[in-house]
Amino acid sequence: MTAKATGGRVTRRRAHTRANLLDAAFAVFAAKGFGRVSIEEVCEAAGYSRGAFYSNFDGLDQLFFALYEQRAALIAEQVAAALASDGPGPDVPAAVDRVTEVLLLDRDWLLVKTDFLVHAARDPEVARTLLEHRARLRRAIADRLARARGHTALPAVLGDVEGAAHAVVAAYDGVTTQLLLDRDVVRARDWLGQLLTALLTDGSTRH
């Protein structure tokens, strides 16, 4: 057996362990709250030792950011797929409809994310990291809006595409906060679509 083959198995095994830890952590965080979960509880839920945990993550903050990146990648894939049929001049209201139809609106994830937001608000270093993640999301949105701007004018009150990206994220945050309370995913999707259409157009083209 070659060293390369052995190394490949080790890498696959480690990736499998990491994925299981992330899945277990997500379930435990959603059930108990980020601030009420210990590393031992994550390990127990995943069926691994603390050694396995620390071979993949420095601590719960790093594990959370891995979860955040995982969900952010999923959302990016969903948005990209929804916009795949767009040409160089996308129809913004139609694109909004497609995006809101498929966008991840998972209440368990929103519970975990909200818990961590409160944690980050009390820890400047964690807050900086979370802000960097949110900034990357806004840049991706701004890039997409920049490609559409020549064909669908943005409302002047938003300023530029960066301002519009901030508004899109704020709308998502507001809708998902309501979803946490009323648990109405159908209403959340409809309301998000209305808000985004109003923000990114004159609001009169969505029926």
CA–CA separation, 32 and 152 (whole Å): 45
pTM of the model: 0.72
Q: What is the pLDDT of residues 119-170, one digit of tens each?
A: 999 999 989 988 988 888 788 777 776 765 554 556 665 667 788 778 888 8
* CB-CB contact of 104 with 74 (8 Å): yes
Percent of the chain exceeding pLDDT 90 equals 32
Q: What is the pLDDT of residues 17-61, one digit of tens each?
A: 999 999 999 999 999 998 899 999 999 999 999 999 999 999 999
Residue labelled with tokens 């995982």: 70
Of residues 176, 36, 132, 31, the one with CA closest to residue 23 = 31
User: Would you tell me how many other CB atoms lie within 10 Å of the CB of residue 110?
Assistant: 18
pLDDT at 3 over 60: no
